[in-house]
Structure 1
Amino acid sequence: MKNMKADAVVIGGGLGGTLAAWTLAKRGYQVVLTEETDWVGGQLTSQAVPPDEHPWIEQTGCTGSYREFRQQVRRHYRQRVQPDQVRGEAHFDEHFNPGNAWVSRLSHEPNVAHGILQKWLWPFVKEGRLHILYDTIPIQAQAEGDKVQQVTVRHLKSGEETTIAGDYFVDATECGDLLPLAGVEYNVGAESQQNTGEPHALLEANQEDTQAFTVVMAVEMLPEHAAHLAPSIPQPEMYEFWRSFYHEGSPYPLLSWWDMKPNADEEYRSFTFLPGSSDLPLWTYRRVVDAAQFKEGESEGDISLINWPQNDYSLASIIEMPYEERMQHVEMAKQLSLSLLYWLQTEAPREDGGTGYPGLRLCGKAVGTEDGLAKSPYIRESRRIQALYTITEADVNKELRQDKGEGIRCYEDSVGVGHYFLDLHMTAKSRRSMFILAYPYEIPLGALIPRRVQNVLPASKNIGTTQITNGCYRLHPTEWNIGESVGHLIAYALDHGVTPREVHGHSLHLKAYQKELDEAGIQRSWPFEGMN
């Protein structure tokens, strides 16, 4: 058993955890960061999801550090692109999209994002101020009263255990795994309308009714003259199972070009693979390399990250499962993704009337794996703290707020901003999904502070939202903002000898803390007087 001590212990190296650790180390504190995989960055890197961003992202609506990250991504690609793509430095920095995806204004390879984040962390690692424990999960926590004293973690490969003592602990795991260990009260799954007052909540709460997760894969499409270099993969073990799988009530198999529309039980939408006759071409949906933009030799073909309705895994809720059982479902989800690829290569109906698409092959270099599958599943929903303030549908649903004559919900304790739709993928029990228009939102500090435990803070999808509002607060720029603001909150608390709850409850401390956020380039409000 090894022992370590730090000012702050960040459990989970997703986007929020990475930014919390980076912020604290930058402010001079000793930090230990643990991560389940061997990559930091979570949904942006190890989970291989291109950044989902709002339509104003190039001008407003994110932290200064997130904007700098985006600029560094574009600079990474600058020397690789065709000269006619660089129409002046300003145009390139502001608008170049490596993949020309229609879901993101900056769709790029996950390994590029990981490299940038590693460079950000490295100076503090070199100084000995930041220690990163990879391939590591939390297994136990020890608390006295309302304060956690230490957390024990286990290395997944060696089995070695390490106990880490600290003044503050951050849960930035993908499922909120520190919360039950530390005794932090939390919610999980679907709440009821009675509990939240949300019109789209279930009539009865169901803790197992969590959203689908996805094992994303990177797939390259070689040009026609080189398609023979991409033979079909061997038929996956579970191919026949997934090939014949139907969601309850659906007339279409999961592996098809059809999917149920969100918010409409009996309506279906159709997809195509390539652009042309459909508004929903899936190949370009999350494409991260558009080879036509790059110099000869810089890219063999287009690369797309396959995160589609067809490989959403919704057979079970894995959040409350023991680690080993959770991994069994992850393996089944990997089989689903591989089955989707095999179907695309061999049986998928083509736009020209044929079947199967030649030239598709897994691309491990983009995601840092040999098999081309992401290092970690993309988990959309986590345990969520019972917070001083819970964000509900009434705070962000556009229609509800317009009906009351209200615009953007503003909070005196705002620590950031974001925007996305209220987007829920198919859930495990009620089999519902939704995609509801939402206003731009602020991030209230009260949603980051547990009701009882004093020195554990969330920095991921585990803040004080409901299942429905998690659907918009879970996106990349928002998680980044949450982690960065939590890092500054802990630093402020340590600097002034107060607790986060005291910062929230005392106007002088709150204003002083918010001033630090402003100085750090963290935007806390939208420059809109109203929304139509």
Structure 2
Amino acid sequence: MKRKPWQKILSIPLVLFFTIPAIAMNNFPRNPEQIEECDILVIGGGLAGAGAAYEALLMGKTVCLTEITDWVGGQISSQGTSALDERSTQRQELFFPKGYLEFRDRIGDFYGKLNLGECWVSASCFLPKDADYILERQLQDAARKGNGTLKWFPNTVIKDVQIERVENGGTGEQIVSAIAISHKPQPNTPPLNSEPLSQIIEDAYTYEDSSRLKKTVIKFVPPQNDNLEAKAHWMVIEATETGEIIGLTDIPYRLGIDPLSAYEPSSSSRTPDPYCTQGFTYTFAMEKTETPQPQPEPEFYQQYAPYYSYELERLADFDLVFTYRRIYKAQPSERVTFGGIGFTTPTPGDIAMQNWTWGNDYRPGTSVDNLIYSREQLEAMGQLQPHGWMGGLRTETLSKGEQNAIGFYHWLVAGTTDSQLGDGVKKPHPDHIFLTGFDSPMGTAHGLSKYPYIREGRRIIGRPNYAHPDGFTVNEVDISRVNYDDDYYKETLTPQEYRQLRAILAGLEGFGVISGEISPDQAPKRSRSTIYADSVGIGHYAIDFHPCMSESPHEKPGNTEREGERRGQGQAYPFQMPLSAMIPQKIDNMIVAGKSIATSHIAAAAYRVHSFEWSSGAAAGTTAAMALDKNILPYEFTEGFAFRNPHLQTLKTILDSNGNPTAFPNTSIFNEDWDGWR
């Protein structure tokens, strides 16, 4: 078989652990070499950031879009999870935001089919490198169509923000400028993406040039404007994967597990735990070959081998795992079934992307190995001091996640153990190669995704209102289909908490439960999610957990998932995205999109998939553009009663008319049964 230029067998010690020249760790600021003006600064080029840029460009705005990698799209490109997670009813109805549907159509046009890989987990699996190409052109076309201007800044991180109180500027402060560091390789050094993220991230956040990276310091500012009546001269959209700007600006947020309560009744802890977030994943691509290939064992493999597993007997089939997220199908093949799941058998030339819970997921959960630093840790490290921000991630844990992913490939092709199912289950499958190279599906010399798929980051606490005096949050009970009749809830919650839970679930009859007119056990239960008058987007997905592990390190033999973390897992009703969840406290010209909106730990497990990220971005971009046009601040859309707020009603009309739905069809407050949506 003729091998493509990017197909080669992985040489792990040489490729993954390329030695980086020493970097200067002194962290002193320097004057910007470049000043960039924009109406809207979108920080984070994932799907939420792309959705925000897309809508703002169509509304004629100048958008600066920054991204730590050199690919736009996040999950579908630089993070490698190029299999669209969609619920069946929403997919059948094609009830998605316009820009997301356009991307799906462009995928179909590009390949001549929507599901290039014939994967069984999704209706659309494709190559990450192609997703970057397709989405970048979609944004360029949006700029032309809307007479907007797109300024794209790949390989760029935000280092500092300037926050001030602005005259005419509302109740709080505003971001008036942002300092970024853009990097490229020094002459006579390897191209970017030669080494994995852990080996370059600290250099990327350091002002000084190093022997590896040449830096350009960029200052982002609003356009020069003499309008003294303007409440804000620009808007900033936080769309990073971890809520990075939330941490940097130190606005109120949550991280990790929320405490058990009537609103979060399936929580595994009575106290907050910022260290236990969902697992993160470095994806990779592997190709089936005609003949067995050499499979050298990584020097660290035995350290991670005790973790790997098919997880469940109904999933314990190599071909099923390979085709789960297969992103390229080389030739037709027969259809088979295993564990009730149908798929076409792998053939030589097929390429699979791997994203497996008991495989390349890395799931730290303690204060000594958590990936996303807590506020207390950031403060102790000096990252909240001026010029001290270094991205807020633990480099050592990133590195272990990279090793864990490489080890999982070796387990797939050569492993014979299974941590959950025991001996005799796992067989070697050496007729595969690990794909590396700059033209490979992941676009990296080492073969791992450019950035890990991070399922959960910092989540803002929205502004207080009459129903949420401690700050707005979308909670578990707002979306979950969990059976709360289970005795566990009555036995675990206090009597007061249990009564409050049943009142919440009773919907319009909740006041009767609170007053005592209706017994909690006799109270009716609504069959829908919470309806928000300020909804600006939609989503639908299961509450899907990849729980942290109980002990450190993640790969410790015999380690188990944190007890109780999967209790809240299960189906969710189609849900809305309230604008109140996107408006942070303290900073008046910032809007949050993507995974970092105001949700609880359990609700966040559903509010993280592809179409939702785009929907949240579309809402953020539209809100930011309209706020500038109307000379109002984002929080003013949510003031007072929603139905009497003309700004909010106009915003919702614009969103709906532009093809960005704010509610699912036939899901009103008068329809208590949404069970048909699956």
When normalised by structure 1's length, the TM-score is: 0.85
Q: Secondary structure at the match of 1:284?
A: helix
The reply on whether 1:313 has 2:362 as its aligned counterpart is: yes
Identity between Structure 1 and Structure 2 (%)? 30
- Partner SS for 1:283: helix
Question: Among residues 334, 337, 342, which one is paired with 2:402 in the alignment?
Answer: 334
Which whole-Å CA distance do the structure 2 matches of 1:387 and 1:325 have between them?
A: 24
- Asked whether the equivalents of residues 51 and 104 of structure 1 are also in contact (C-alpha less than 8 Å), the reply is yes
Do residues 525 (structure 1) and 592 (structure 2) align?
A: no
Within 2, Cα distance between the matches of 1:300 and 1:271? 22
Give, in angstroms, the shift of residue 196 of structure 1.
Answer: 4.5
Deviations 1:193-228 (A, max 9, x none): 249443335211111111110101111112xxx224
Q: CA deviation at 1:448?
A: 0.9
Following superposition, the deviation at residue 270 of structure 1 comes to 5.7
Hey, what does 1:291 align to over in structure 2? 330
1:76-475 to 2 correspondence within 5 Å? 76-78=110-112, 96-123=114-141, 129-145=149-165, 146-155=173-182, 156=204, 157-166=213-222, 167-194=234-261, 196-222=263-289, 226-228=290-292, 230-232=293-295, 234-243=296-305, 253-257=306-310, 259=311, 271-275=315-319, 281-293=320-332, 301-309=349-357, 310-315=359-364, 316-320=369-373, 322-323=390-391, 326-348=394-416, 355-364=427-436, 365-388=440-463, 389-399=472-482, 400=484, 401=505, 404-428=525-549, 431-432=562-563, 433-434=565-566, 435-475=569-609
The 3 A distance-change label for structure 1 pair 327 and 406 is same
Alignment partners' CA distance in 1, 2:216 and 2:351:
38
CA contact 2:260–2:268 (8 Å) conserved in 1: yes
Once residues 325 and 476 of structure 1 are traced to their aligned partners in structure 2, the CA distance between those partners, rounded to angstroms, is 23
Match of 1:304, SS state, is strand
Greater Cα shift, 312-321 or 301-310 = 312-321
- For residues 247 and 449 of structure 2, the distance between their equivalents in structure 1, rounded to whole angstroms, comes to 27
- Between the aligned partners of 1:194 and 1:169, the Cα distance in structure 2 is 33
Amino acid at match of 1:107: C
Indicate if the aligned counterparts of 1:211 and 1:317 stay in contact, CA closer than 8 A: no
Question: Deviations along 1:99-153, whole A, 9 cap, x unmatched?
Answer: 2222211112212211111111235779882111111111111101321111111
Give, in whole Å, the separation in 2 of the partners of 1:163 and 1:358: 51
Alpha-carbon contact 1:237-1:335 (below 8 Å) kept: no
After superposing the two structures, state which structure 1 stretch, 206-215 or 422-431, moved more: 422-431
Cα contact 1:414–1:524 (8 A) shared by 2: yes
**Structure 1 residues 283, 457: CA separation in 2 closer, same or farther (over 3 Å shift)?**
same
Q: Does 1:71 align with 2:146?
A: no
- Give the conservation status (yes or no) of the 8 Å contact 2:538–2:574: yes
Shift of 1:450: 1.2
How far, CA to CA, are the matches of 1:495 and 1:323 in structure 2?
A: 33
Structure 1 CA distance for aligned equivalents of residues 288 and 78 of structure 2: 22
Q: Which moved more, 1:128-137 or 1:188-197?
A: 188-197
Superposed displacement of residue 300, structure 1: 5.5
- The answer to whether the Cα contact below 8 Å between 1:142 and 1:148 also exists between their aligned partners in 2 is yes
Cα distance change, pair 203–326 in 1 and its aligned pair in 2 (3 A): same
1:424–1:355 CA distance, 2 compared to 1 (3 A) = closer
Report the residue type matching 1:67 in the other structure: L
Please tell me whether the aligned partners of residues 534 and 579 of structure 2 are also in contact (alpha carbons under 8 angstroms).
yes
Contact 1:334 1:373 in 2 (8 A): yes
State the distance in 1 between where 2:179 and 2:280 align: 27
Q: CA deviation at 1:353?
A: 7.9
Cα displacement (A) at 1:16: 0.4
Deviation sequence 1:6-58 (CA, Å, 0-9, x none):
11111110110111122212211111111000001001111011211111213
1:24 equivalent in alignment to 2:77? no
Relative to structure 1, the CA distance from residue 143 to residue 290 in structure 2 (aligned partners, 3 Å threshold; closer, same or farther) is: same
**Structure 2: distance between partners of 1:194 and 1:460:** 25
List per-residue Cα deviations over 1:156-176 (Å, max 9, x = no partner): 332332221231111111111
The answer to whether the 8 A contact 1:198-1:392 is kept is no
Distance 1:25 1:125, change over 3 A: closer
Q: Report if the CA contact (8 A) 2:244-2:392 is conserved.
A: no
Report the 3-state secondary structure (helix = DSSP H, G, I; strand = E; otherwise coil) of the residue aligned with 2:318. coil
Letter in 2 for 1:304: A
Matched, 1:40 2:72: yes
Gap runs ≥5 in structure 1: 79-91, 244-252, 260-267, 276-280
Cα offset for 1:363?
2.6
Q: Which whole-Å CA distance do the structure 1 matches of 2:616 and 2:410 have between them?
A: 39
- Secondary structure class of the residue paired with 1:366: coil
CA gap 1:404/1:152 in 2 versus in 1, 3 angstroms: same
Q: CA deviation at 1:290?
A: 2.6
1:236/1:375 CA distance change after superposition, 3 Å: same
Q: 1:64 & 1:7 partners in 2: Cα distance?
A: 23
1:478 pairs with 2:542: no
Q: CA shift at 1:191, angstroms? A: 1.0
Cα distance in structure 2, aligned partners of 1:445 and 1:130:
25
In structure 1, the partner of 2:489 is none
Deviation digits for residues 421-472 of structure 1 (CA, Å, limit 9, x no counterpart) = 1112122557254231211111111111113321111112000101110000
Per the alignment, residue 248 of structure 1 pairs with: none
Whole-Å separation in 1 of the counterparts to 2:59 and 2:143: 14
RMSD: 2.5
Counterpart of 2:26? none
Contact 1:62 1:522 in 2 (8 A): yes
Match of 1:53 among 86, 89, 99: 86
Amino acid at match of 1:271: L
CA distance 1:474–1:325, change in 2 (3 Å): closer
Q: CA deviation at 1:182?
A: 2.4
SS in 2 for 1:32: strand
Q: Structure 2: which amino acid aligns with 1:291?
A: A
Q: Which moved more, 1:465-474 or 1:119-128?
A: 119-128
SS at match of 2:68: coil
Change (3 A) 1:147 1:285: same
Distance 1:325 1:407 in 2: 37
3-state DSSP of counterpart to 1:291: coil
Taking a change above 3 Å as real, the CA distance of residues 133 and 287 of structure 1, as seen in their structure-2 partners, is same
Highest Rg: 1 or 2? 2
CA gap of 1:125–1:131, structure 2 versus 1, over 3 A, is farther
